[in-house]
Structure 1
């Protein structure tokens, strides 16, 4: 079953067509990676799929009418409640999602985020890696069917990247569908069931990793990325 399906999506900014008539779908139960260099339209595509931006033409269809209540989205920056601790932010975001978390549930969520010792720390004073993990935590307090993560490991050190990957694996183990954007092929190789490559506002190829490697006659995902994202 498709959770979201976009058809012939077009988006223009400043008289420039930044998304050029793309078709894509998010399938229930998969980990889907949206891949491409910075500035090729990944974040714009995600915003259209989430209903944050309206496409200038094309359409987006959803698996249920109340889809927004069943999506958790962590965009490139999460506006935490300033002056409130990590634990308090989890409680507040839970309330926004109409989810009343018990103290035990909040403690478990902190553990899931590898923040057991940082629950009383102001969210805005956490390290970048801790903030990224907390952002996923507040995004998933309502156990959404679809979790969308926009470059969740960008700018992080290896240990922080490893912890984010472990959180994504846990989401999949809980039967939650995950869409994440990335240009880190190591991350993609370890996580994704299916890949969508974007370049210059277009989808240049998509499919399962092994099938794409074979189709494009390359040895690995890094070489596949370099081939599909050539500038021309």
Structure 2
């Protein structure tokens, strides 16, 4: 899914009246710049406040990861930043020219039109968003996510992991400068989860700003250039994993999580194992 922002800043009506050696080297730091910025964003569902005074930036050529417990507001923040929800107050700004203000978005549970092959799905979506990419372009996108051999497979016959990868390939159509991935590894086996994060890292290395959420702290630590810790609708910390660990005087991202949300990390995955 790709969203298209019609103005350079999305502002609510209320203001007018959310590492290690395997990490892929990101784009050169000298070329990195903030491509998305949230300023004092709140979002309410009726009388329920989900996001409160959230300010954050996302840079080109980096992977930014949101971590936090269930119900902390991660999905709402991603949807606000992707332009799918209007903030109750505050603003979201997108840098760059008008042609660059399209955002690729992968929801937690991507769904595709049945009866189409993987390749036909990408070609169909391309026509919907006005990209009209050639078949060779669609195959290149499948090659990027490792699904070129599945191009002719019906989408309804795909595994959960393959469905997520098709969703990522679809999100890159039109080459948006920002790609938002909501829990891209949720429910996947460790090997497929690792591959999904590798794809995210490769997209960032090519200059895309990748914003994702995850409970898999090992993969986040391995992949993310920047981590935002979200709890009760507020960002408690945002920096590189190493810098956050140093600031809190802990030695792991799991310890950061436990220290920040004052709870045991019972719903997060570490080294591919989920603690129940």
TM-score, normalised with respect to structure 2: 0.79
Alignment partner of 1:172 is 2:218: no
Unaligned runs of 5+ in 1: none
- Mapped to 2, the partners of 1:57 and 1:27 lie a distance apart of 23
Offset at residue 14 of structure 1 (A)? 3.7
In structure 1, C-alpha distance between the alignment counterparts of 2:38 and 2:219, rounded to whole Å: 25
Which residue does the alignment assign to 1:26?
58
Give the distance between the partners of 2:92 and 2:139, measured in 1 at CA. 37
Q: Does 1:17 align with 2:49?
A: yes
1:78 corresponding residue in structure 2? 110
Pairs within 5 Å for 1:49-64 = 49-64=81-96
Which of 139, 143, 160 lines up with 1:111 in the alignment? 143
* 46, 71, 88: which one aligns with 1:39: 71
Give the C-alpha shift of residue 59 in structure 1.
1.3
**Any conservation in 2 of the 1:69–1:97 contact (CA below 8 Å)?**
no
Per the normalisation by structure 1, the TM-score is 0.93
Matched, 1:147 2:179: yes
Is contact 2:94–2:101 with CA below 8 Å preserved after alignment?
Answer: no
Q: Any idea what SS the aligned residue of 2:39 has?
A: strand
Distance (Å, rounded) in 1 between the aligned partners of 2:103 and 2:46: 30
Q: How does 1:89-108 map to 2 (within 5 A)?
A: 89-108=121-140
Q: State the distance in 1 between where 2:71 and 2:182 align.
A: 13
Counterpart check, 1:219 vs 2:251: yes
Deviation at 1:210, TM superposition (A): 0.9
Q: Aligned with 1:59: secondary structure?
A: strand
RMSD between aligned residues: 1.6
CA offsets 1:62-100 (integer angstroms, 9 cap, x no match): 114637753211111223122111010011112223223
Contact (CA 8 Å) 2:198, 2:223: kept in 1 or not?
no
Structure 2: where are the runs of 5+ without partners? 1-32, 264-276
